[in-house]
């Protein structure tokens, strides 16, 4: 079974995001970038499936600028076999990403696509579902456990009421949630090996997909600074403040 794992280059989750002075977006210059954490989980799950003998090849694919090769090298160092970079300097929205991934899937012919449920920069949570609809494949979203059967997957999903397990037929799309696994750190020998693993570079324009954004960002602002709390001396005073100042009672 071949597994395709899409990954995204985002601002590192440890970095405090700063808004540009003109409010046109967030500052990316001289900012540490890394792989989307949900995509790390996807790669880890693919590697575990390969280690258990249920997968034969893992292909990581990223859509972005030339620097996204670093993100692909991270996936290769974790244990993926080869990478594909769909090169573009444009900001790509989920619909265009899904269309490009559809073309990659049709070319690579994987039996399973595992991707993060969302990216931490836009939190759209759309690409996996769109890709499933375009391909006409089964989907299991927000996966916290995956069991491979004979031509099927049992996917335990995190839903509002708790957990539900669905059985889906292969080929399939699975989006990963935080509790699926704990991604491994790449060892130094694997990092060195990753430098020799192949990365195929293609241009986004070659896929015939309209990359024009359908959304326009009118402005970006930082959240308001949280006001300091107030210590009250009694329940009566607390109720009074909630009623008269906060207006919640």
Q: Which two tokens stand for residue 2?
A: 């071949």
Asked whether residue 238 is domain-assigned, the answer is no
Asked whether residue 245 is domain-assigned, the answer is no
Q: How far is the C-alpha of 113 from the C-alpha of 65, rounded, in Å? A: 22
Q: How far is the C-alpha of 59 from the C-alpha of 82, rounded, in Å? A: 5
Q: How far is the C-alpha of 15 from the C-alpha of 164, rounded, in Å? A: 34
Asked whether residue 249 is domain-assigned, the answer is no
pLDDT-derived band at 249 (thresholds 50, 70, 90) equals low
Q: How far is the C-alpha of 177 from the C-alpha of 155, rounded, in Å? A: 11
Asked whether residue 244 is domain-assigned, the answer is no
pLDDT of residue 46: 97
pLDDT-derived band at 117 (thresholds 50, 70, 90) equals very high
Pairing state of beta strands 172-176 and 112-116? Answer: parallel
Q: How far is the C-alpha of 41 from the C-alpha of 51, rounded, in Å? A: 15
Q: How far is the C-alpha of 248 from the C-alpha of 8, rounded, in Å? A: 42
Give the side-chain half-sphere CA count within 13 A for 216: 1
Q: Calculate the average pLDDT of the chain.
A: 92
Three-class DSSP category at 103:
helix
pLDDT in tens, 96-112: 999 999 999 999 999 99
Asked whether residue 236 is domain-assigned, the answer is no
Helix (H) and strand (E) counts in the chain = 6, 11
Q: How far is the C-alpha of 52 from the C-alpha of 27, rounded, in Å? A: 42
Between 62 and 222, residue with greater pLDDT: 62
pLDDT of residue 208: 87
**Through-space distance between the first and last CA atoms of the chain, rounded to whole angstroms:** 59
pLDDT in tens, 150-209: 999 999 998 888 899 999 999 999 999 999 999 999 899 999 999 999 999 999 888 888
pLDDT in tens, 218-238: 888 888 888 888 888 999 988
- Indicate which CATH number applies to the domain containing 182: 3.40.50.620
Asked whether residue 32 is domain-assigned, the answer is yes
* Residue 243 to residues 165, 230, 236, 238, Cα–Cα distance (Å): 45, 15, 11, 9
Asked whether residue 208 is domain-assigned, the answer is yes
Q: Which two tokens stand for residue 208?
A: 């015939």
Q: Which two tokens stand for residue 141?
A: 């979203």
Asked whether residue 23 is domain-assigned, the answer is yes
Q: How far is the C-alpha of 99 from the C-alpha of 114, rounded, in Å? A: 16
Domain total in the chain: 1
Domain range for residue 91?
A: 2-224
pLDDT of residue 235: 92
Residue 248 has pLDDT above 80, yes or no: no
């Amino acid at each position: 079974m071949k597994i395709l794992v899409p990954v995204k280059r985002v601002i590192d989750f440890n970095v405090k995001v700063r808004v540009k002075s003109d409010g046109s977006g967030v500052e990316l210059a001289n900012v540490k970038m890394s792989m989307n954490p949900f995509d790390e989980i996807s790669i880890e799950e693919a590697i575990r499936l390969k280690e258990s003998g249920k997968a034969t090849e893992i292909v990581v694919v990223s859509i972005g600028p030339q620097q996204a090769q670093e993100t692909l090298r991270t996936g290769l160092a974790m244990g993926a076999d080869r990478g594909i970079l769909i090169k573009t300097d444009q900001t790509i929205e989920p619909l265009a990403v899904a269309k490009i991934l559809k073309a990659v899937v049709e070319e690579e012919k994987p039996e399973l696509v595992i991707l993060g449920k969302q990216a931490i920069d836009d939190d759209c949570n759309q690409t996996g579902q769109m890709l499933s609809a375009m391909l006409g494949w089964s989907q299991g979203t927000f996966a916290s456990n995956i069991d491979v059967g004979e031509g099927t997957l049992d996917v335990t999903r995190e839903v509002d009421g708790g957990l539900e397990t669905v059985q889906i037929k292969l080929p399939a799309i699975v989006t990963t949630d935080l509790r699926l696994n704990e991604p491994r750190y790449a060892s130094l020998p694997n990092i060195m090996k990753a430098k020799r693993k192949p990365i195929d570079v293609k241009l986004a324009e070659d896929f015939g997909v309209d990359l024009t954004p359908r959304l326009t960002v009118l402005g970006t602002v930082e959240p308001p600074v949280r006001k300091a709390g107030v210590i009250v001396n009694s329940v009566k005073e607390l109720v009074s403040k909630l009623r008269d100042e906060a207006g919640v009672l």
